[in-house]
Structure 1
Amino acid sequence: MEYTKLGNTGTDISKICLGCMGFGNPSRWKLAPWVIDEEQSLPIIKKALDLGINFFDTANVYSLGGGEEVLGKALKKYAKRDEVVLATKVFNRMHEGPNGQGLSRKAIMSEIDKSLKRLDTDYVDLYIIHRWDYNTPIEETMEALHDIVKSGKARYIGASSMFAWQFQKALHVAEKNGWTRFVSMQNHYNLMYREEEREMLPLCKEEKIALTPYSPLASGRLVRDWSVTTKRTETDKIAVSKYGATIDVDRPIYERVAEMAEKKGLSKAQIALGWMLQKATAPIIGATKTSHIEDAVSALPVTLTDDEMEYLEEPYVPHKIVGHI
């Protein structure tokens, strides 16, 4: 395993992060009926640890808390807490009625305690706002996050998909008031969706923000034969919303990944992740099989030349913004 720093901090993270959206309770979360249960999840998390992965990402909304519960049990069983960098997220709706979602002080203070209980830990290393809250002043959100860090319930804070102007505003508000700044950006980014290169990536580079993109394999579309269907391809409405409308313009990118993989004697995952690893700090890899983890880790030694990077990127055309809202 290779390790790097979490943005402008001294914390070491594996260059592969295990995303835990796929772990939990398929009957509890209607949005993702393809997730796997605890019995199936534990061996995957153990394999990640065995391969040197120390960075794990989940969220309160995954299986409506079930994802955090499964990850917490696995880490308690297989890992030493101080050796793991644990991230979770807050924003999405967790219960019906008022104050069931968002980034108000009330919601954040309530959800961090619930997440810690489900994860069975005293703190998370990285507490991430899952999306931008248009209904709460950013000053309220940033002060609440700062107080959570100062209370010891989180070591750092991060953000996920939003517009660059929003992220810059949040960074400015924190700096202006002497509050904790974001150290990471978890955004939607891969060979088939590169809109983040216009504004967000240059901003993160300038501010020394760690880039931890989700969906680095485009929900499997960069690596899976397009004629093959799986339970996830048939039921994953989130993936359809991200890539369903751009099949025709995305196909040439998949074909170039497949062509290069065959030419170099590598897997398509190694090519797609090899490209990503030269762009990002630590991509977040989803896995529902141990082989998915092994494939991801095998991409670490892959280095693509400038010409090869350009060849993979050349067919890309502008896409509609997906992920911010």
Structure 2
Amino acid sequence: MTLRPLAHLNQTSRQFGKIWHNVDIFRQAKGTDLPNWPSWCFLPMAAWVAIASEGAEFGSVEMLQAASDASRLAAIGTWRYTQGIYRFDEYLAEALTETRLDGKIPTDLLLRLPEWCVYVETPRQEWCGATLYGFWAHVEHDINDARPELRFLLDTEKGLIPQILHIGPWTIDEAISRWAREAEKEAMQMGLMFSSGRAEFIRTCTLAIQPLLSMVLYLCSEEPELKDRNFPDHGVCLPKAKRTKRGWRLFPPAKPRIWSVGQHTGDILRRGCNKQAVERNFRPHLRRAHWHGYWSGPRDGERKFSFKWLPPVVVGWKVYEEETSTP
């Protein structure tokens, strides 16, 4: 059985015959014929729109369709060059998705995705009432104003649905609001109506995106538990371009890599759910992700107060293990 993200990739390749050749052209023009962009962005959305439109005029039906196709191309096309599929341990996934994300979004952390684009499987999730099989996540660098955006492409039973967060020093609902205002402005420029900036829409999207954002943040944490069972000694790494007659090019892997995420942490949480742990009140748990404020610099010199994002961690296991291992 073909993996879902691979099936979508094959369909995209059939639909857009010249897409990978055009990706090479845009990547080779980075910093020369085109403005430069950060290394954490594979290819800006403006390039994907140009690839999808193939020279269509602004405001035309073809351009409107290209703008719609670009979100799908950006996620699936970027994922093609790494093809990482991330399978979270179900106990860790449950604990992460139940963790509320309050306060400002840790933008710098989100720029540390293990790959340019990841596909996360979500067999027990829904999106606004529809089954959510998984999602792609990647970070976009807006060429016009250098704005970073965390872009999701949701793989649902009702089709592929894009969801965008304008990430910065603000909350999730503000990130959704900023995207909605920008989408409304762009729709008006194209003569379309977009009325999703209402409070109910913001609230619904904020609640729905939090579990997915928690999983992405875990992948971006300092030492996420990632393991490829087929190649346990090989970690995640980005591909390197190769010199060809057509210039420097990136080549996709032969097949996707399946990454087990958080297996050790999940085992701890699973074992902590047994009856003895609960009765003795030593059940380990996941400390919620939170901000930590700290001072840095010499005590007798200029000091700086900073906030650091601390991902969820398992606590209480050492005490529990000592108690339950006693004969």
Give the TM-score band, short-chain normalised.
under 0.3
Q: TM-score, normalised by structure 1?
A: 0.28
Q: Which has the higher strand share?
A: 2
Larger Rg: 2
Q: Which has the higher helix share?
A: 1
Q: TM-score, normalised by structure 2?
A: 0.27
